[in-house]
Amino acid sequence: MSTLLDLTPDAARAELTGWLARRGDPPYRLSQLLPRLWARPVRRWADASDLPVGLREALEAEWPLPALALETRQVSRDGTEKMLWRLPDGEAIESVLIPEGSRRTLCISSQAGCPLRCTFCATGTLGLKRNLEAWEIAAQVRELLLAPQPAKPTNVVFMGMGEPLLNWPAVSTALTLLNHPEFLGIGARHITVSTVGILPSLAQLAKRPEQFRLAISLHAPTSAARLALMPIEKRYRLPDVLEALGAFRRRVTFEYVLIAGVNDREEDLVELAKIAKAAGAMVNLLPLHPGGAPGLVPAAPRRLGSFAAGLRRRGVEAVARRSRGLDIAAACGQLRAMRGDVGGEVAAETHGDVDQAARVGGLTHGADA
């Protein structure tokens, strides 16, 4: 389906300028139409009351506005919200809104499902259903602006379902939709792309002039250890991923799910500190959440704190994340696009997730991803 929502600002401007000219409408109508796509969105053109009725009807016939259908919304005891969106073809994705003070971080999906099958992640058990279109990615923000109580996120993180850099053309366009001041206008430094390290697309991301943030899903400090957790290591090896980071002008974050007896040993800490220091990266330590392969055991909260402290002693900035949304299966690695009953419970934990900023003893709850 061709839609204006899939177009960058320049492309949408060109398309609408030509369309208005062919209709004989005055050029100033363009300045009324463009904001209705993203900046001040409408669900349907009939809702754009500042436009003549005839123009609204013509727009609806020529350029209907697609939407995500909210099938389920769950709210955690800690205020985290999880939305299950039904796509026009019937596939489903999830996104998670994490409020903390004045910050509202939205964790968005870039694929329906995920093909990577990382052992610690529930999403990978689904396999890949399909890539999302650019508008479907950015519409996870747009729908929040169209909600009965509109709430624009301050931060967006590509840490939902899917591997963003396996869907690079759509993700690249979505980044423009999210960031451009005429559209959603979210600052580039408030947008984080999380990837296992898909090298061709990583190189394309590095070429973009905006200061988007990059997070690498590391989870092991050596290629051999990483292969046991992440099959993608067969194709894109850790040394090559680390070398590719040299093309980025901004600091990179390493994401590291701490698994007892697998990647939380002292030798893992030493090696992780070594590669993080060489890359000038900070480390986000995340707890293992329910939903991945059976037999994996989360490192104890005490170990999460001591592991972070050990990295800091070795000159690496490291934070241990507090879990958010565990009682609604909205924490890192738990998104599966399955309908759930609001209030369904999972045993609560007190450590590790995307966004919450406050230091408590050895644990840091949040910061920017």
Q: What is the CB neighbour count within 10 angstroms for residue 61?
A: 9
In sequence order, the 6+-apart residues with CB closer than 8 A to the CB of 228 are 119, 220, 262
Query: What pLDDT digit, counting tens, does each position of 138-190 carry?
Result: 999 999 999 999 989 999 999 999 999 999 999 999 999 999 999 999 999 99
Rg of the chain taking only CA atoms, in angstroms: 21
Q: Report residue 284 as tokens.
A: 């986000």
Q: Mapping DSSP to helix (H, G, I), strand (E, B) and coil, where does residue 214 land?
A: strand
Residue 275, φ and ψ in degrees, nearest 5? -75, -35
Q: What is the pTM of this model?
A: 0.88
Query: Which residues are part of the catalytic machinery?
Result: 94, 332
Does residue 219 or residue 347 have the better pLDDT? Answer: 219
Q: What is the CB neighbour count within 10 angstroms for residue 277?
A: 14
CB 49 within 8 A of CB 32: no
Pairing of the two strands 282-287 and 359-360: unpaired
| Length of the chain counted residue by residue | 369
Rounded Cα distance, 134 and 131, in Å: 9
How many percent of the chain have pLDDT more than 70? Answer: 86
CB 7 within 8 A of CB 39: no
pLDDT score, position 357: 27
Fold of 4-62: DNA polymerase; domain 1 (1.10.150)
Q: Which H or E run includes 282?
A: strand 282-287
Common-topology check for domains 4-62 and 69-364: no
CA–CA–CA angle 214, 305, 259 (5° rounding): 70
Domain ranges in the chain are 4-62, 69-364
pLDDT score, position 293: 65
Rounded Cα distance, 56 and 52, in Å: 6
Beta pairing partners, 32: none
pLDDT score, position 295: 81
Rounded Cα distance, 195 and 146, in Å: 29
Query: What pLDDT digit, counting tens, does each position of 208-218 carry?
Result: 999 999 999 99
Beta pairing partners, 112: 130
Query: What pLDDT digit, counting tens, does each position of 55-96 carry?
Result: 999 999 999 999 999 999 998 888 899 999 999 999 999 999
Rounded Cα distance, 303 and 210, in Å: 37
Q: Is residue 323 very low, low, confident or very high in pLDDT (cuts 50, 70, 90)?
A: low
Least confidently predicted of 103-112, 168-177, 302-311, 327-336: 327-336
In sequence order, the 6+-apart residues with CB closer than 8 A to the CB of 119 are 228, 229, 230, 292, 293, 296
Q: Domain 69-364, what architecture?
A: Alpha-Beta Barrel (3.20)
Mean pLDDT of the chain, nearest integer: 87
Q: Mapping DSSP to helix (H, G, I), strand (E, B) and coil, where does residue 74 land?
A: strand
CB 217 within 8 A of CB 193: no
Is 207 exposed, middle or buried, given 0-12, 13-18 or 19+ CB atoms closer than 10 A?
exposed
